[in-house]
Amino acid sequence: MAVAGTDRSHFAPVPTPRARNERALVREAARGSEQALAELFRACWPGAYRAAFLIVHDHSAAEDIAQEALVAAIRALDRFDRRRPLRPWLHRIVVNRAIDWARLRSLRREVLELEAPDDDTDNANRGWSDPVIAALAALTPEQRAVVVLRHLLEYTPGEIATMLQLPRGTVNSRLRRGLDVLKTQLEERER
């Protein structure tokens, strides 16, 4: 999503953080520390955005999803159980919202399949030059989600099963099928 014009002077840069334990950051942010907030944002944004993007394949949607998840996390800081890590909770929101978004888009395409394409962004997104994104497009959103959670965010299949509220066997099968398709797609592109 483009910002009107080119003037970004109103965007304050994110303060540069110093490395600290996530639990301490959550505690300090909940007490009102902006420095802790900035550190948390810096630590969480790349993973949240990238995970969303790899599932939805749409930069604007990924931005919305990651931003909304972070805002939801910030708003829940006071109620958050500080004994638990923040990131799995955040990633659960991101991945579930991204799956919903991708499903909705598929549904919308089914309903509107007779309409002429009028969305340049969407058209641009279909021809990905990055081989891994193009290969991921061959997977279902659910398969993409488990691949991303396992191989980008490095959760175990057990953790993924808990996050997505799925049986562990389902996670394993989606992972296996997803990786098979991904491998085939990448090999075809390399030939």
Partner 1 sequence: MNDERLQRLLERAGDDGRARAELRAWPVVHEAFAQQRAAAPPHRVLRPVFAVAGLAALAVIVALAVTSPGAAVADWVRDHIVGKPGVEKAAPALTRLPGGGRMLVTSRHGVWVVNPDGSRRLLSGYRGATWSPRGLYVGVWRGHQLFAVEPGGRVHWSLARREAIRAADWSPDGFRIAYLTGRSLRVVAGDGTGDTQLRPRVARVAPAWKPTGPHLLALAPRPRVVDLVATDARALAWRHSLPQATRALAWSADGRLLAVAGRTRVNVLDGATGVVRRRIAAPAGFAIGPVAFANRGHQIAVVLRGRGGQSRAVTVAVAGRHTRPRLLFAGAGRFAQVRWSPDDRWVVIAWPAANQWLFLRSTRVSAVSAVRDIARQFDPGSRAARFPAIADWCCG
Q: Which residues bind partner 1 (CB under 8 A)?
A: 1-8, 10-14, 29, 32, 34, 37, 41, 45-46, 49-50, 53-54, 59-60, 62-64, 66-68, 70-71, 74-75, 77-78, 118-121, 130-133, 136, 147-148, 151-152, 154, 179, 182-183, 186-187
Q: How far is the CB of 6 from partner 1 (least distance, A)?
A: 8
- Residue 147 or 166: the one with the smaller Cβ distance to partner 1 is 147
- Residue 100 or 187: the one with the smaller Cβ distance to partner 1 is 187
- Residue 78 or 113: the one with the smaller Cβ distance to partner 1 is 78
The SS3 of residue 153 is coil
Planar angle of CA 99, 103, 104, nearest 5 degrees: 115
Write phi, then psi, for 58 (nearest 5 degrees). Answer: -150, 120
Q: How far is the CB of 13 from partner 1 (least distance, A)?
A: 8
Sign of CA dihedral 74, 61, 91, 133: negative
